[in-house]
Amino acid sequence: MEHVHEKITTIIHHFHLNNYAFSKRIGVTGTTVDSIVNGRPQPDGSRKRTKPGYDVLKAIIDEFDINPDYLFGKSNVMLKNELTNIPTYSGIPQVISTNKEGDENVIFVPAKARAGYLDGYGDADYIESLPSFHMPQLNNGTFRCFEVQGNSMVRTFFDGDLVFGKYVESFNDIKDGRVYVIVSKNDGVVLKRVINRIEERGKLILKSDNKDGNYPTYTISADDIMEVWYVSMFASKQMPEPIDVYDRLHELESKIVDLERIMIQKNKN
């Protein structure tokens, strides 16, 4: 992560200024900027940088319309006007379902309902028409169950599996390498492994786990995304085959038990 003096240096270069011209723009001396960016010479030959104070940081932010989170290391977006290109994501799903006790239900979206879901995800009547059920294990959030369709995620999920997704409240909560259900205007409902590049490029990178088929990696723009669900649990109809190594271990264990029994028997005789 860049330090604040490196951020300030980047701002100076971005506006094609030198330290002196920059200092005049923010109302401080050139020596002040030099001590922040380059540091003051020390008797041992090293340089000690001065940390910019509140007044200096505020002057930089106001004069150059800088995003404060950029200076404090919370964002890679330097200018405030660049933030307007990043859409504000809805922190809650538009429609939920509850049981008689007021607990949220898990709404089930079967494969055959995917096309309708794209148009009806915000329609209360449509959501009520979908099957729903309560799962005590799924709490502290809104969950939705999607039926897996196709083979793009084979090795992890298979056609017909059920994935349970927790609603993602912010784009910033999307973690690289995890699996999500993405609902978007152009692609509908997809299940993919995701790389989050919303902040830097305004996009998500969507990857398939199936490397054997023709499932290329692609990107999706943030302004196309309507819902994101983090897959936190799944149910599968696929029963894994026993692994050979375990079979061999079981065989060896049984032979050891037999040998122990024979040795015990010999000792008794």
Q: CATH number, domain at 175?
A: 2.10.109.10
- The whole-angstrom separation of Cα 181 and Cα 145 is 10
In a domain, 99, yes or no: no
Q: Residue 248: what pLDDT?
A: 67
Residues 76 and 135 in one domain: no
Residues 117 and 210 in one domain: yes
CA-nearest of 196, 226, 38 to 118 is: 226
In a domain, 256, yes or no: no
Residues 110 and 161 in one domain: yes
Q: Residue 98: what pLDDT?
A: 85
CB 193 within 8 A of CB 211: no
In a domain, 246, yes or no: no
Residues 24 and 67 in one domain: yes
- The whole-angstrom separation of Cα 203 and Cα 197 is 5
Last residue of a domain, one of 83, 115, 145: 83
Q: Residue 91: what pLDDT?
A: 66
Residues 225 and 187 in one domain: yes
Q: Residue 246: what pLDDT?
A: 56
Q: Residue 243: what pLDDT?
A: 57
For residue 38, the enclosing domain spans 4-83
CB 179 within 8 A of CB 194: yes
Total number of domains constituting the chain: 2
User: Phi and psi at residue 89, in whole multiples of 5°?
Assistant: -85, 140
Q: Residue 88: what pLDDT?
A: 55
CB 161 within 8 A of CB 236: yes
Note the pLDDT tens digit of each residue in 84-137. Answer: 555 556 667 878 888 888 888 999 999 998 888 888 887 888 888 999 998 888
Domain with residue 28: its CATH number is 1.10.260.40
Q: Residue 164: what pLDDT?
A: 96
Q: Residue 52: what pLDDT?
A: 92
Counting as low any pLDDT under 50, the low residues of the chain are: none
In a domain, 227, yes or no: yes
In a domain, 93, yes or no: no
Residues 61 and 124 in one domain: no
Q: Is the dihedral of CA 72, 78, 83, 89 positive or negative?
A: negative
